[in-house]
Amino acid sequence: MGRVRPLHHAARRLLLLFPRPRAFSSSSSSAAATPSREPLHVCVVGSGPAGFYTADKMLKGHEGAQVDIIDRLPTPFGLVRSGVAPDHPETKVVLAYGAESDRSLGIPGEDLRGIHSAREFVWWYNGHPDMCNLAPDLQSTDSAVVLGQGNVALDVARILLRCRSELAATDIADYALDALRGSTIRKVYLVGRRGPVQAACTAKELREVLGLKNVHVFIKEADLVTLPADEEEIRNSRIKRRVYELLSKAAIAHKGNNNNGQKELHFVFFRRPTRFLPSEDDDGVAGKQVAVGTGEFEDLKCGLVLKSIGYKSLPVEGLPFDKYRGIVPNLKGRVLSSESENATVEPGLYVVGWLKRGPTGIVATNLHCAEETVAIILEDDKEGLFMGSSDSKKQGRRGLLEILEQKNIRFVPFDGWEKIDSKEKVAGELKNKPREKITTWNELLMAAN
């Protein structure tokens, strides 16, 4: 398989649709299993896992396929670079630009100082250029509340509590490491609306956060009591069973008070936030259980709140979008004109990843998602749906480059990313890290040039 060559431009989202574009494009050709009448030009918008999986499957599945990947950042890999915690290093037109916004709680005080989304915090410590100036206050409080109990919530809790010397050996942004070294946060509360059986994390992530050095874990035994519906969920799901077992064992192992001055991780179940106060005011069906209010309220004092209640995709002008579900309406990857029952298929337009199914699953989930979308593209190609008249024939990569030139758009080609990559790795070697990420737009563009 030929290598992927990205190009970068400055726009907020899709190439050619915004006045300040930033793109990342890859191009490649490959001999593959399925013969074809002529080359198939595919443009993938978004260079995260879903985008790269799609490019890979496309190149392997179509003889002579040519793929361009476009991104608004001068660096590829999406969540793998900016969304996965730094202490986890292992982990036609096709729309794959993912989810770059956040769900809202819709409660009073949500805009108070000290309240951030987990996505913003994750982007901050991973050196994303859009969040390098976030500067969360980690020195005015000893307590932080993380709303949510999924993998992202566990990630941010782990970063807040982990030994700083261990973080220093990762590719965490330097400014974030400095801030964490000066952090006064000693307690992190992971707050969820439902019970331990419904916790949305994986066993691997949970095991890691429960095993943090010098951290005392608090779990109320009363919260671990199960109902028949819970027990049915545990029987029917190996993941839920393993998560519940890990929480139960942790509750027993950490029984009692913290008498050693350790940092603290509190799992708080069956709680739903109703409002944020400024500092001066100092039973259901198995598998479908929802949280129901009891009429009881409590205050939880903290100086930092990170909302980990889900990512949200953003609409793009001219592109069909289901605002309720936060996805591009589609049928197995084929983009539909709307979310209505009478929707028609948009010819030559496909979707993959979070933009296709919503922000769910782990990084590897995008592999199966990409396989389905690519299979649909190959099916449509086999049916001759891309065979237009000679005068309406798309120009592919050549047409893309012509448009960039006509609009006088600066972009970062693949060798520009290679320069960024090389500079980050060299800087990282000096600090015994995998890389030292470049975290501002200006520095990234200077390094690329």
Please state the residue numbers annotated as binding site for FAD. Answer: 50, 79, 354
- Which tokens sit at 57? 């499957």
Q: H-helix or E-strand containing 93?
A: strand 93-95
Question: In this structure, how many other beta carbons lie within 10 angstroms of the beta carbon of residue 340?
Answer: 9
Question: In this structure, how many other beta carbons lie within 10 angstroms of the beta carbon of residue 141?
Answer: 18
Burial of 370 (C-beta count, 10 Å sphere; 0-12/13-18/19+): buried
| Crossing angle (nearest 10°) for helices 151-161 and 118-125 | 50
Annotated binding site: 50, 79, 149-152, 193-194, 205, 354, 361
Owner of token pair 């519906």: 229
CA dist., res. 147 & res. 194, Å (int): 12
- Which tokens sit at 130? 């859009």
Annotated binding site for NADP(+): 149-152, 193-194, 205, 361
CA dist., res. 369 & res. 384, Å (int): 23
CA dist., res. 133 & res. 419, Å (int): 24
CA dist., res. 27 & res. 67, Å (int): 5
Question: In this structure, how many other beta carbons lie within 10 angstroms of the beta carbon of residue 265?
Answer: 25
CA dist., res. 181 & res. 281, Å (int): 29
The letter for the amino acid at 336 is L
The letter for the amino acid at 113 is R
